[in-house]
Structure 1
Amino acid sequence: MEPLEILRSSSLYRKDFKTGEEGFTLAAALIFGKDETIQSLLPAYKVEAMVRRDNLDRWDDRITPPLRTNLIDTYLRLM
């Protein structure tokens, strides 16, 4: 399949029936977008993560600063 066909079949590239325009969805921007694109679309978007390893009563590790990048880069950073 062509790349655009893959995006269409996964509903990441769709037609807006109100305006008739075709384009990428917000989900596509969150998955593949650059940091600047994501921040312009969703200024409050961030991912925070805390881990409990040794003591279950308190947090042992935390990602700082919060991640404000696409979901692929966020996943790789968290792993």
Structure 2
Amino acid sequence: MSGEQFDDYYQTLSTLLRSSLDEVKESLSDEDYTGIRDHLDHGAYGVAWELLWDLLHAHPLQIPADLVECGRRMGIDAL
């Protein structure tokens, strides 16, 4: 993967995760939202994905399509 492809890959992950987080923001506590957002801001996309995925499965909440797509792109088997 070239440097540009590498940058595009991580930008796509960031966009998908931030979109997913914004979609469910009203259903999360301020603490959960801020914690996940902090991980995103520091480039910890796998941690952010897992935290959001687990929170959404712990509650009867719809899983955003962007979160599923992000997991697929990261090669996560939990889908």
> Shared topology, TM-score over 0.5?
no
When you count helix as a share of all residues, which structure comes out higher? 2
Decide which structure has the larger Cα Rg and report it.
Answer: 1
TM-score, structure 2 normalization: 0.27
Of the two structures, which has the highest relative contact order with CA contacts closer than 8 Å and spacing of 6 or more?
2
TM-score (normalised: structure 1) = 0.27
